[in-house]
Each structure stands twice: as structure tokens, then as C-alpha cells.
Amino acid sequence: MPRELVPPPCTALPAKADVVIIGAGLTGCATAFWLQRLYGRSSVIVDARGLAGGATGRNGGHLWPNPKSDFERATVEELLSFIEAEGIECDLTHDGAVALERRAPEEGVEYHDAPGDPEAGDGEDEDWGETPVLDAAACAARLQSDAFAEATLYDGARQFYPAKVAAALLRASGATLYAPCPVSYPKGRASRGAGRPYIRCA
């Protein structure tokens, strides 16, 4: 993540806060943003590592919804409209995505989904429509690599940089991020579910 997008971490925790959010990934930053936007509440965010220190900072950035999933399509549409409405610079591209087949050593290898995996089965729940197949030459032209024998192109997919969206959400939320600040639930305390939540920040 570019340094200028990372807010300086604070270390002196406040004694009290209205809302404490654990985790400064997309979920935590979006929660802080919407608490501010909808209810005018400002939050404190604590994170063991820092902004986008977890999955948000290290994922593929694919926006690749299953066309048969209303939830996935609606979520992606919501995110895209949000990025556009807020003018968030996050390297968004609309060039589709490719599923790659390596020349070697994966040729001929069959992968098996675990039993009960909703994505397993005969693929009837995934109708991706037209998915052109690229040959080795087309792969090389698109990917600047000759490692791939074939690829399937999914036109509807997009790519973005989630950590930049998290940084924009954090900035717009006005929340204060404290990091590094690992949170634990002390043993022997009725800290989960009942009564006042109790956490310890090291």
C-alpha cells in the first residue's frame, strides 16, 4: 500500500469510546464509514497489524461474481456504485479475468472440491455465459508470459485494489485507528455474549 494512504497509527488508547471496531480491513472500515454516514457516530478501530493488515491487504482484488448468485451480483454492484459515487481511486479495471491452465506441471491434474462445498458438483449453479478460450499465443500476448497453455476469459469480471478502498473508507469515516493493537478475550471472564463486552488490548 502506498505510504501516503496509510494513516499514522496511534498508540495511546482512549479510556472510553462509543464504538470500538476490531479489525481495520474492508469490514471494519466499512462499518466505521456507515456508522458515521448513517448515524453520525465516530469510532475507534483497533488492529493487531494496521490498516489492511489482513486479507484486505493481500488478496487478488477480483470482482468476479457468479452470475447465478443474486447476492454476489448485488454486492459487486453496490461496491462499484459506491466507488464511483465517492470517487475512490482504487485501480479499478473492467478488462475481465482469466482462469489459467499452466503448461506444466499441472497438466492433467484433477482437482476435487471437498464434500459439501457449495461450489462443488456439476457446475449447474454456475452459468457464466460466453467464456472465450484463449490459446497459448493469446495467453502470451495478454499476460507477457509463455507459462500458460490455455485460458478461459470471463468478460464480466473486474479488478481493483481493496486496500485503497479500505483506506478511503477509514479516512471518510473520521475513525481513529490504533495499531499495532492485538485484542484478546481474557480467560475466565464472561466476556462473550453476556453483559458488557470486555476486551484487552496489548
Ligand X SMILES: Cc1cc2nc3c(=O)[nH]c(=O)nc-3n(C[C@H](O)[C@H](O)[C@H](O)COP(=O)(O)OP(=O)(O)OC[C@H]3O[C@@H](n4cnc5c(N)ncnc54)[C@H](O)[C@@H]3O)c2cc1C
Cis previous bond, 115, omega within 30: no
Nearer to ligand X, 2 or 108 (CB): 2
Neighbours of 177 (CB within 10 A): 24
74 binds ligand X (CB under 6 A): no
Near ligand X in 128-187, by CB under 6 A: 162, 182-183
- Residues 149 and 165: their CA atoms lie apart, in Å, by 34
Instruction: Using the rule CB under 6 A, give the single segment among 32-40, 51-59, 101-109, 190-198 that binds ligand X.
Output: 51-59
Burial 122-155 (b: 16+ CB within 10 A, else e): eeeeeebeeeeebeeebbeeeeeeeebbbbebbe
CB 75 within 8 A of CB 65: yes
- Which residue from 37, 62, 68, 94 is in contact with ligand X, where contact means CB under 6 A? 62
Q: How far is CA 60 from the centre of its chain?
A: 9
- Which residue from 6, 19, 22, 172 is in contact with ligand X, where contact means CB under 6 A? 22
What's the closest the beta carbon of residue 26 comes to ligand X, in angstroms? 4
Nearer to ligand X, 25 or 139 (CB): 25
What's the closest the beta carbon of residue 167 comes to ligand X, in angstroms? 12
What's the closest the beta carbon of residue 33 comes to ligand X, in angstroms? 12
- Which residue from 21, 25, 168, 175 is in contact with ligand X, where contact means CB under 6 A? 25
The partner residues of 148 in beta bridges, in order of sequence, read 102
> How would DSSP label each residue in 56-72?
GGSS--EE---TT-HHH
65 binds ligand X (CB under 6 A): no
What's the closest the beta carbon of residue 57 comes to ligand X, in angstroms? 7
- Continuous segment of H or E residues that includes residue 183: strand 183-184
- Which residue from 54, 98, 154, 161 is in contact with ligand X, where contact means CB under 6 A? 54
Binding site for ligand X (CB under 6 A): 22-28, 46-49, 53-56, 58-62, 162, 182-183
